[in-house]
Structure 1
Amino acid sequence: MTIELSYEIITLLFATAVLAGFIDAIAGGGGLLTIPALMWAGLPPTAALATNKLQACGGSFFASYYFIRKGMVKISQMKLAICCAFLGAAAGTIAVQLIDTTILERLLPLLILAIGAYFLFSKKISEDDRQQLLTPGLFALTAALTVGLYDGFFGPGTGSFFALAFVSLSGYGLSKATAHAKVLNFSTNIASLIFFALGGKVIWMLGAIMLVGQAIGATLGSKLLINKGSKLIKPLVVTMSVLMSIKLLSSQYLLFS
């Protein structure tokens, strides 16, 4: 698929990708910026979603790489979770083409608001690791697979869902949970991108340009996360949860009005 865009619009989309990558690395929710921006630029909804997955791969990859290089994530301990997240996202991307998403669209704002409330009020969230409720293998076969399925099926707030799962089920501190969430989010992004590409929905040149912007923003956000930790993550997660819920609710209102 090809589409003609002016240099001014491409520059604006690049800047949007930088900001989205920065936010995504810390709290998730960067798609709240990039998907509307791509649709504003004139892309059809499916092309916007597909191209967004390409550029999101850049942000999630470079954030993951930074966290791995800094020793926050040990990839050898995440192999099963990565595979399960990938398979879940692949299944979700196929399923979204066959199943009515109306019910999920209506429930999602409430789910994301609940995540924000959990991060805001829970006393369990800190930089310290706590008691683990699930073994890594069980976590992979349940949380990683389920959130991966959700990302392929719908998508908004995936990073926050992964982070919440690591905090509540694996007992990780907030920075560690966010770092591990980004690795699984990269896996789900790749899976969805493959199936969108097979359907010919990706605008490759535009996605590649935004991917560079995502990489820049994600690298800056990752460095800030390591330095600031939960002092920065909690307010951003809560803010992005509220904004995502408002955006989704407003979209539903416009759709049904």
Structure 2
Amino acid sequence: MPELALHLLLFLFAAAFLAGFIDSIAGGGGMVTIPAMLIAGIPPLETLGTNKLQSLFGSGSASLAYARHGHVNLKEQWPMALMSALGSVFGALLATVVPADVLKAVLPFLLIAIALYFGFKPNIGDVDKHRRMSVFLFTLTFVPVIGVYDGVFGPGTGSFFMLGFVSLAGYGILKATAHTKFLNFGSNFGAFIVFVLYGVVLWKVGLMMGAGQFLGAQVGSRYAMAKGAKIIKPLLVVVSIALAIRLLADPAHPLRIWLGM
């Protein structure tokens, strides 16, 4: 595709900064960057590939910030990140041959359910609770399943990881947020490799947006660490509902097509 004008690159940089800020706290950064790239005239497949490149900077930046302040041990989390990456590789390959209509139809309602869970469960805070699944089982089952989802489709991946860490691993919400980011980095990296092999990554755009993501994630992660559950919980609810509404508002959404809307 032709070179993007400077004002479009600056627009995408600003969008990536905002996405990095939001994603480092509650996930859902793709809700900002994917529409922004489509508005800039980038074709859908290149948008998905380039989105994975720039997302690496945001999830990597947030992971380093949380690790630096002792909220996550990245060395201990490598097995989970690797399983997330392997799952997303499989998901990205699956996306090339399997229609995602059913997933697209169900996803908004899953996101609304997540928003209700975090919004109405009164005892979710910064303190860890009882673990319901061992680290080993969590790594071998839940993590790669969400990785596959990220490779196939993507929106809401951070919300699903958060749900797992809070409800299954028993983490407090700040600790869950910190651990989510490195797994998101893994799933982004796995899918990114597949998209590179397919030649659908726009490197100049991705690196420009990556710089915005990196800076936004640094600001967002520091804000989350300062405010804890007071900001993470409501923003997670808002982002999940906003993403569900955006998906349902798309005229091409399978549910709207099935209902003739």
State TM-score, norm by structure 1: 0.97
- 1:8 matched residue in structure 2: 7
- For 2:52 and 2:15, locate their aligned partners in 1 and report how far apart those are by CA, in whole Å: 15
- For 1:198 and 1:179, locate their aligned partners in 2 and report how far apart those are by CA, in whole Å: 30
Query: How many angstroms does 1:6 deviate by?
Result: 0.8
Gaps of 5+ in 2: none
- 1:191 matched residue in structure 2: 190
CA displacement, residues 110-152 of structure 1 (integer Å, 9 cap, x when unaligned) = 0011111111011341110011111111101111111001000
Q: Which amino acid aligns with 1:232?
A: I
- For 2:200 and 2:2, locate their aligned partners in 1 and report how far apart those are by CA, in whole Å: 11
- 1:35 matched residue in structure 2: 34
Q: Which amino acid aligns with 1:151?
A: D
Q: Which amino acid aligns with 1:52?
A: N
Structural mapping, 1:108-187, within 5 Å:
108-187=107-186
Q: Which amino acid aligns with 2:56?
A: C
- 1:99 matched residue in structure 2: 98
Q: Which amino acid aligns with 1:64?
A: S
- 2:249 matched residue in structure 1: 250
- What secondary structure sits across from 2:141 in the alignment? helix
- For 1:159 and 1:140, locate their aligned partners in 2 and report how far apart those are by CA, in whole Å: 16
**Segment of structure 1 superposing worse, 118-127 or 215-224:** 118-127
Q: Indicate conservation of the 8 Å contact 2:17/2:217, yes or no.
A: yes
Distance 1:254 1:149, change over 3 A: closer
Query: How many angstroms does 1:253 deviate by?
Result: 5.5
Q: Indicate conservation of the 8 Å contact 1:80/1:137, yes or no.
A: no
Instruction: Report % sequence identity.
Output: 45
- 1:78 matched residue in structure 2: 77
- For 1:71 and 1:254, locate their aligned partners in 2 and report how far apart those are by CA, in whole Å: 41
Q: Which amino acid aligns with 2:68?
A: R
- For 1:100 and 1:61, locate their aligned partners in 2 and report how far apart those are by CA, in whole Å: 30
- For 1:177 and 1:135, locate their aligned partners in 2 and report how far apart those are by CA, in whole Å: 15
Query: How many angstroms does 1:55 deviate by?
Result: 0.6
- 2:236 matched residue in structure 1: 237
- For 1:171 and 1:15, locate their aligned partners in 2 and report how far apart those are by CA, in whole Å: 35
RMSD value over aligned CA atoms? Answer: 1.1
- 1:88 matched residue in structure 2: 87
- What secondary structure sits across from 2:250 in the alignment? helix
Query: How many angstroms does 1:79 deviate by?
Result: 2.4
Query: How many angstroms does 1:254 deviate by?
Result: 6.5
Query: How many angstroms does 1:59 deviate by?
Result: 0.3
- 1:22 matched residue in structure 2: 21
Q: Indicate conservation of the 8 Å contact 2:129/2:172, yes or no.
A: yes
CA displacement, residues 51-84 of structure 1 (integer Å, 9 cap, x when unaligned) = 1111111000000011111111012322221111
Query: Does 1:211 pair with 2:201?
Result: no
- For 2:253 and 2:145, locate their aligned partners in 1 and report how far apart those are by CA, in whole Å: 29
Query: How many angstroms does 1:15 deviate by?
Result: 0.5
The number of equivalent residue pairs is 256
Q: Indicate conservation of the 8 Å contact 2:105/2:253, yes or no.
A: no
